[in-house]
A and B are shown apart, each in its own frame.
Chain A
Amino acid sequence: MKKCIFLIILAILSLNLLICLSVLDHQVQAKGNAGEDKITVLSPKGQPPPIQLKPMAPRLDTLDGKTVYLINDGYLGTDILLGEMQAWFKANMPEVTAVYKMKGGGGFTAEDPVLWAEIEEKADAVVMGMGH
């Protein structure tokens, strides 16, 4: 009888222990899962504009007899670079007229309407440097 009571008590204690462990486990799990709840946040991005594709200029059949403007936008070393390119045209493609021009306007990004007008009137092609 005593043995039976002891076993019943042991069973009840074990059951309690299991329940406690389960609750504890649940509590631990709940704590661990607290950061796992999903939330919704807003996008911080701005709106990029649509891009209008612009037409490229038709290419030349040949550079023979044509005038190529070599335009310096002002970055350091571009004068030497374009000078050497001008010399290369003279030595290797003498039928090309390579004209060296300095873009004005005070800065790489500055517009130079006078030069643009001259290009429209006199140039068949443009080589511009230098993106650095």
Chain B
Amino acid sequence: MAAVVGHCVNIESKLGVPTVPLITSEFYEQVKTHHTIQKGMPGLRVTYLIPPVWGKTAEQIRDDIVGNSPPTGKMIMREIVENLTKPLTAEEKKTGIIEQSSGPASFTDTTDHLQQMFLENRMTDYMPIILPTEERVAEMLKGTSHDPDEVVGKMAAHTAMPGDNNVEVFEHWFYTVRTVAINAVMAGARPEYLPVILAVASTGKEGISVSDNSFTEGLIINGPIRDEIGLNYGIGALGPFSQANSTIGRAWNLLSINAGNCGRVGTTYMGVIGNPMNWNNVIMAENEEASPWKPFHVRRGFKPSDSVVTLCEGWGILSAKNSRYSVWAREMDFSGTLKKIVADQDMLFGAMAVLSPPVANYIRDEGFDTVEKLVQFLSESAGGQGGFPQAKEMPPFPKGKLPQGKMPFPRGPQINIVVTGGANNNYWSYGGMAPRQSVLIDDWR
């Protein structure tokens, strides 16, 4: 709904044409108290619809639009006409600047009260935090050579893809190195993790997406930094089994909540179901030493000696045993199984396979001595299969957008391979996670 608000504000203010955005009434509070104000047009005349609209028949919608809008009680079509013709009020004609404040720079109280205050003011992830005293923050700042007052970046609850020509949907909040360090302290991070957290923060990518899809975010970490800070890329690599893995993703989330205004249910968070991976995001340090292929960051153009973090977004990662294609057999057809699973993934974020070293080595031994060859195989063979079982359940796509008779499937750069985890068995995981920016951690040491 924020996109509709953004477009209508621009049409009104830049083109001088009156508008009525149509938004389902579930978003009344979000739009009234947040989006219209942030976009600089608190009086924008929205007409709220009876939810949901998607899935209703034409007959049902025909009845709805002559029914009453839930917040106002007015007949929807009559309200639209009124919103376009009723003269603007003095309040609606107001211009000027509204200054915003993020509140006091510090708080003084007992530790118990401070924990409670942070929690009640939604400055946490609802878990206890390490209270960011001046001493702890000063210690954290020793993890970087950057000036504490340096502006690291800005963040909003939704970030457009790089290069997209999109209307700005949410306001961007700014933050400094000190702000990042404060949130890192709260997350339980150590000073040596700070360059990784700063590198992530420098992208402005939110750790908690607003989307009603309940996305999760992720990091792929490569290079010497993995060993320097004790990132786990052995057994349980994607789980909470080292301080670095556990706190870096949490620091990103806390920064997003506090310095990017993300994750506020009803305004900057609308995930319908939510996602348990939002607790800490998907933190993946690659097991470069046990991988048969070039490390992920090297395939993206970095040197092996560079320490790099790559940000990802998507649905999440889960065990390949969840797939009906992944069956136990004496002779495992890993590349064949991978091909089928990849071909079943959604196009939005493509496919990401997170392979344990033994599985990656089996696939290498099948003849895929580079990831590029594997991706080529997955792209070609998936296309040859044509439609997939769930095809009939999918909503129709715009005409002319897709090859006739086939469902879309990830291919080429939409297929990504990461090698991590232990060598104690032949398991692997997969999901829809799209890599975005890769950032040099070394720039933030």
Q: Which residues of A contact B (CB under 8 A)?
A: 35-63, 68, 71, 73, 75-78, 80-81, 83-85, 87-88, 92-93, 103, 105, 107-111, 116, 119-120, 123-132
Contact = CB atoms under 8 A, between A and B. Distances in A.
Contact of B13 (A45, A48, A54, A129): A54
Contacts of A105: 165
A50 B14 CA distance: 20
Contact of A47 (B18, B21, B46, B175): B175
B252 to A, nearest CB: 13
Interface string B13-35: 11111111111100100010000
Given A53-B41, A57-B17, A120-B15, A80 B58 contact: yes
A58 B100 contact: no
A83 B22 CA distance: 14
A75 B3 CA distance: 11
B107 A43 contact: yes
Contacts of B53: 77-78, 80-81, 130, 132
B102 to A, nearest CB: 4
B439 to A, nearest CB: 19
Interface magnitude class on chain B: 35 or more
A8 B75 CA distance: 94
Contact of A46 (B2, B17, B31, B261): B261
Contacts of A110: 164-167
B102 A47 contact: yes
B40 A52 contact: yes
B411 interface: no
A46 B40 contact: no
B173 A129 contact: no
Given A39-B108, A40-B106, A54-B12, A131 B27 contact: yes
Contacts of A76: 54-55, 395
Given A73-B4, A80-B56, A111-B166, A44 B183 contact: yes
A130 B4 contact: yes
Contacts of B137: 42
A130 B106 contact: no
Contacts of A40: 106-108, 133-134
A30 to B, nearest CB: 15
13 contacts: A46-B175, A47-B175, A53-B96, A56-B43, A76-B54, A77-B52, A92-B77, A109-B2, A109-B158, A110-B165, A110-B167, A111-B166, A128-B11
Contact of A42 (B17, B86, B132): B132
Given A53-B94, A73-B3, A88-B77, 5 more contacts: A44-B123, A55-B13, A73-B7, A110-B166, A127-B19
B182 interface: yes
A111 B105 contact: no
Contact of A41 (B61, B98, B131): B131
Contacts of A132: 1, 23-24, 27, 52-54, 212
Nearest to B123: A44
Q: In the complex, which of the residues A46, A51, A124 has the most CB atoms of chain B within 10 Å of its own CB atom? A: A46
Contacts of B108: 38-41
A42 B4 contact: no
Contact of B174 (A35, A46, A85, A125): A46
A126 B19 contact: yes
B258 interface: yes
Interface stretch (B110-118, B294-302, B367-375): B110-118
Contact of A131 (B4, B18, B37, B132): B4
B424 interface: no
A41 to B, nearest CB: 5
B347 to A, nearest CB: 13
Contact of B259 (A45, A81, A126): A45
A60 B99 CA distance: 32
A127 B84 CA distance: 9
Nearest to B171: A49
A17 B3 CA distance: 75
B389 interface: no
Contacts of B52: 77, 132
A95 B437 CA distance: 52
Given A51-B97, A130-B4, A85 B103 contact: no
Contacts of B20: 125-128
Interface string B239-276: 00000000000000011001111000000000000000
Given A54-B12, A59-B84, A119 B107 contact: no
Given A54-B41, A125-B84, A130 B22 contact: yes
B80 interface: yes
Nearest to B66: A88
Given A40-B134, A53-B98, A109-B6, A58 B259 contact: no
B170 to A, nearest CB: 10
